[in-house]
Amino acid sequence: MKISSLPSLPAPPYWLRLVLQGIYPLVGIFFSLLFVAVAPFMLLLWPWDRRLALLRCLFLALYIMWEDIGLVVECWYLRLRSPRGTSPTWDEDHLTLIRRALNNVIFTAGKMVGFTIDVEGAITVGRPGHPLVVISRHAGPADSLAIAWLLASTAGRIPRIVLADAMLWDPGIAMVLQRLDSYFVPSRSGAGDDRTRGVADLASTLTSKDAMLIFPEGRNWAPDRHEALVERLRARGEHERADRVESRPWVLEARSRGVAAIRENAPEADVMVVAHTGLDMLTGPGPVIRAVPFRNRLTFRGITHRSEDVPTEPGEVAEWLDAEWDELNDWVGSHIEQREHP
């Protein structure tokens, strides 16, 4: 159950999503039997892999799959109880589902691969009576899952997330987030889709119990992606912009259109800016497996701004977001420096 961006994969059609939901338990059974069959042979790798990192990762992946399957089954049950989705506890019931699943996954990930979360300082989750908008850096494995966990379990708010429509391939998380009115951003193959309009529509429906999560970078930071972005900007002759991106090595360029649409349509929302670091360099399956069990904690810092202190005019929003990304880059860089040179 991973909430992240998979921009190259188009969303499955609606009929295929229904098929995936129906066969998902059978897929889980197949992979469970496969794991039982191969696990004894993987134990024989102990002389070469004394941490049993690959076995741990495969077990965790299987466990997450079954949590996801559980979401599908429980969503079916809630639909049987309320076919039209008009139950007075509809949102709360689905929040309970995702909160329980995230708690279980975070706990199991801690036991299996050493995935732990630290929160630096006190995090305020907005004022009572105000929606909350969360703007976050995107980097490392499971960062979006951890943020969703913080919002659902710690803040007690309903997470309404802006994420790539490729996540519709994940039957469980897609069912829950769709029912909580998250927005799945159309892939680039969907010509003519107005992505910002969807973000604006979601922002206009926020209530005081909601937390809307958006990653303005659009994809996970990685050293090669940062370098490629700088080279692409220079090739287009945008040298000033390239210099700006190059001066912030720990973040990608933050796009302001989505944030501006949120501010325009939800001006009463308080705004939290989330920085995090710890697993930044784990940018693929290989580095993740080699790092198990994780030595570094995933450290979060969240600074919440009152709604009246954040601009709503698009140009001013762009300047504000740029300044926030400067500060975020410096915070990440200082923490990485401390880890490398304690």
Domain chopping of the chain, boundaries = 14-340
Q: What is the mean pLDDT of residues 52-62?
A: 94
Q: For residue 15, what pLDDT band results from cuts at 50, 70 and 90?
A: very high
pLDDT at 2 over 60: no
pLDDT at site 285? 86
Residue 146 tokens read as 């951890």
Which 3 state secondary structure label does DSSP give 187?
Answer: coil
pTM of the model: 0.89
As a whole number of angstroms, the distance between CA 2 and CA 143 comes to 9
Mean pLDDT of 297-321: 95
List the CATH code of the domain at 14-340: 3.40.1130
**pLDDT at position 158:** 86
Q: What is the mean pLDDT of residues 295-307?
A: 93
Long-range CB contacts (within 8 A, 24+) of 195-202 = 195/258, 196/257, 196/258, 196/261, 197/261, 199/162, 199/258, 199/261, 199/262, 200/261, 200/262, 200/264, 200/265, 201/265, 202/160, 202/162
The tokens for 264 are: 């325009």
- Reported as a pLDDT band with limits 50, 70 and 90, residue 10 is confident
CA 137 to chain centre: 10
- Residue range 98-109: average pLDDT? 94
State residue 117 phi and psi, 5-degree precision: -120, 130
226-245 residue pLDDT tens = 999 999 999 999 999 999 99
Read off the pLDDT of each residue in 163-189 and give the average, rounded to a whole number. 87
Distance between alpha carbon 124 and the CA centroid of its chain, in Å?
19
Distance CA 98, CA 159 (A): 9
